[in-house]
Amino acid sequence: MRILAIETATIEVGVALADETGPLASVTARPGRRQAETLHPAIADACRIARITPAELDAIAVDIGPGLFTGLRVGVAAAKALAGGLGLPVVTAMSLEVLIAACPSGLGEVIPVVDMRRGEVAWLMPRSPASTVRVGTPAELAAELAELARESAAAAGNVGPVLLVGDGALRHRELLGASSAPAPVFGGIELAAPPVSSLAVLAIAAMTDGRFCDPAAVCPFYGREADARINWSSRQGRETVS
């Protein structure tokens, strides 16, 4: 089984190829706003490195968000086009799930935090189902971290380590670091974006379990309205007031 994984949800464009033995090749870059220009050459490079042609693939995997609107559109569109053209199924995963999967076990509670821009972040609290994605301000996340610390102290008499990963955690490190005692631990820059190799490994497991879908059914998970709609609503509100 060979899977091509596409990661464009946050600050990184990544492509990985994997089979049951693990990742075979990966190409990553942090190109700013040039996701579309970067993704397709990265797909070609990863296939060349792994010596795998698109005709030899069994599925396409893609991170559907939450994350940045442009990146999500680029990645999901590419995954649907490739899978549709090749007659392959698609495996989807959420950026927060991929960040958790990238962390070694035994590190304590892992809380992935993705920067959504416009003063908002998306996060997933420990032991919550993947569907329970929270989107709000960094201050709201800080309040939840403080509550988590209080609950842990009350239940066990001490507070276990909390690891924050993702670009949202790094961007708001000062505020989040002061949210609870002891202060949370922060992942490094290597965990600022969901690693595409981790997405590929998750996808292999999903395919083995029969968890995949038709390309036409794949949609990005934005977590909020598009920026264009937010801007239009704000402008309409100002015009109504005036």
Digits of tens for pLDDT over the chain (242 positions)?
999 999 999 999 999 999 999 999 999 999 998 999 999 999 999 999 999 999 999 999 999 999 999 999 999 999 999 999 999 999 999 999 999 999 988 778 999 999 999 999 999 998 888 779 999 999 999 999 999 988 888 876 555 689 999 999 999 999 999 998 889 999 999 999 999 999 999 999 999 999 999 999 999 999 887 654 544 444 445 455 55
What's at 223, amino acid-wise?
G
What's at 169, amino acid-wise?
A
Q: Left if phi > 0, otherwise alpha if psi is -120 to 50, otherwise beta: which for 159? A: beta
| Alpha-carbon span 169 to 176, nearest angstrom | 7
Per the CB < 8 A criterion, the answer to whether 114 and 9 are in contact is: yes
| Alpha-carbon span 2 to 88, nearest angstrom | 11
| Alpha-carbon span 239 to 242, nearest angstrom | 5
Domain 3-94+194-225, what fold? Nucleotidyltransferase; domain 5 (3.30.420)
Q: Alpha carbon 233 to chain centroid distance?
A: 27
Phi, psi (deg, nearest 5) at residue 133: -80, 130
Strand ordering across the sheet containing 109-117 = 134-136, 120-123, 109-117, 162-165, 185-186
pLDDT at 106: 78
Q: Where are the domains of the chain?
A: 3-94+194-225, 103-191
pLDDT at 98: 98
pLDDT at 241: 52
Domains 3-94+194-225 and 103-191 share a fold: yes
What's at 43, amino acid-wise?
I
Q: Is 133 exposed, middle or buried (0-12, 13-18, 19+ CB in 10 A)?
A: buried
pLDDT at 131: 78
| Alpha-carbon span 141 to 150, nearest angstrom | 14
Instruction: Give, as one character, the DSSP assignment of residue 104.
Output: P
The model carries a pTM of 0.90
Look up the CATH superfamily of 103-191: ATPase, nucleotide binding domain (3.30.420.40)
Per the CB < 8 A criterion, the answer to whether 163 and 110 are in contact is: yes
User: Which residues, in sequence order, are bridge partners of residue 115?
Assistant: 121
Strand ordering across the sheet containing 59-63 = 22-29, 13-19, 3-7, 59-63, 90-93
| Alpha-carbon span 79 to 90, nearest angstrom | 7
Per the CB < 8 A criterion, the answer to whether 38 and 13 are in contact is: yes
